[in-house]
């Protein structure tokens, strides 16, 4: 796919919009689902890039991102990249992206959403998971109620999201992404929990997600199969190392 636009939507988020004829048969309504981005090096030749992808070469870095918006009429999708100083290929590519640049896209993976039949909803996400969480609650019925807590790096990272009126938004600032945060956990603990089955959606940095998972299962007695909980990245690990660690833990 080729980039048609790239813009900084908040200080810590770069929105890149790729477009391509190959999106013609991409299924509609996949906002919140993940995609795998295959990232070219600086000055990479397109034909060589395509051959490397088709041969399954490990020389091309692959990173996981979320479909934030998809417009079937223009064959475009918006992908929101956290701007971080860890120097990863995805972040660096997004910061330099300009119209005409190319990128490989594979997917989509499953749509991310809280359990169906919930009486109320509770979302917890850091900036990397805002695209998935926001797309998930934008798909809820308009009479949905609950809370969404978003952890951002500074006040200017607050971004417009179209939540149902009954979903209360809470923006918490954690200014050092290199240290794990317990703010979402403190928020979950301090919440006056409504009655009924909660629809839980939690995603973000591994340490923060792990604390929330333990709280929800051990202290709230929730069934882990009835929640969407996922570590999207881990402090100090590149994505391949983090995915390998998750697979080892699951095994
Ligand atoms: C299902 C799923 C959906 C995702 N959707 C999105 C999305 O829409 N937008 C998004 O930005 N991310 C998303 N992520 C997270 C993203 O895949 C990782 O952050 C990935 O590591 C970024 O790749 P990179 O090349 O920039 O950095 P890497 O090369 O993977 O890592 C380089 C260094 O940067 C650090 N790092 C990585 N991510 C962050 C971060 N967010 N903040 C601070 N330091 C970081 C790493 O710990 C490492 O030290 C998603 C992850 C999953 C599993």
CATH of the domain at 7: 2.40.30.10
Domain tally, the chain: 2
Residues 242, 127 within the same domain: yes
Q: Which residue has a Cα nearest atom 12 of ligand 1?
A: 128
In a domain, 115, yes or no: no
> Could you read off the pLDDT tens digit of each residue along the chain, which spans 251 residues?
999 999 999 999 999 999 998 888 899 999 999 999 999 998 899 999 999 999 989 899 999 999 999 999 999 999 999 999 988 999 999 999 999 999 999 999 999 999 889 999 999 999 999 999 999 999 999 999 999 999 999 999 999 999 999 999 999 999 999 999 999 999 999 999 999 999 999 999 999 999 999 999 999 999 988 899 999 999 999 999 999 999 999 89
In a domain, 113, yes or no: no
* CATH number for the domain that contains residue 130: 3.40.50.80
In a domain, 14, yes or no: yes
In a domain, 74, yes or no: yes
Residues 88, 168 within the same domain: no
- Gap between the Cα atoms of 136 and 96, Å rounded: 29
Strand residue runs (E) in the chain: 2-10, 13-19, 34-38, 62-66, 69-71, 76-82, 104-106, 120-126, 145-152, 166-173, 198-205, 227-233
In a domain, 114, yes or no: no
Q: How far is the CA of 165 from the centre of ligand 1 (A)?
A: 30
Residues 65, 149 within the same domain: no
Q: How far is the CA of 149 from the centre of ligand 1 (A)?
A: 19
Residues 136, 245 within the same domain: yes
> Does 86 sit in the ligand 1 pocket, CB within 6 Å?
yes
In a domain, 111, yes or no: no
Choosing from 58, 78, 106, the residue where a domain stops is 106
Q: Which residue has a Cα nearest atom 24 of ligand 1?
A: 88
Residues 159, 52 within the same domain: no
Which residues, in sequence order, are bridge partners of residue 82? 13
Domain that holds residue 77: 2-106
């Amino acid at each position: 796919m080729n980039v048609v636009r790239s813009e900084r939507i908040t200080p810590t988020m770069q929105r890149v919009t790729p477009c391509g004829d190959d999106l013609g048969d991409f299924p509609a309504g996949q906002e919140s689902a993940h995609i795998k981005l295959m990232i070219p090096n600086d000055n990479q030749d397109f034909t060589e890039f395509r051959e490397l992808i088709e041969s399954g070469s490990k020389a091309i870095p692959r990173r996981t991102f979320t479909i934030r918006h998809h417009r079937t009429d223009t064959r475009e999708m918006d992908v929101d990249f956290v701007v971080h100083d860890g120097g990863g290929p995805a972040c660096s590519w997004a910061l330099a992206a300009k119209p005409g640049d190319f990128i490989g896209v594979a997917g989509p993976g499953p749509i991310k959403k809280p359990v169906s039949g919930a009486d109320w909803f509770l979302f917890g996400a850091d900036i990397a998971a805002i695209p998935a969480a926001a797309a998930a609650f934008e798909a809820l019925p308009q009479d949905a109620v609950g809370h969404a807590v978003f952890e951002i790096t500074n006040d200017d990272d607050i971004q417009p999201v179209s939540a149902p009126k009954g979903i209360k938004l809470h923006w918490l600032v954690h200014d050092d992404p290199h240290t794990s945060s317990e703010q979402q956990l403190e928020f979950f603990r301090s919440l006056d929990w409504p009655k009924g089955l909660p629809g839980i959606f939690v995603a973000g940095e591994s340490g923060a997600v792990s604390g929330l998972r333990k709280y929800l299962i051990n202290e709230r007695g929730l069934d882990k199969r009835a929640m969407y909980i996922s570590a999207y990245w881990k402090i100090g690990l590149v994505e391949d190392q983090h995915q390998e660690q998750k697979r080892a833990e699951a095994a």
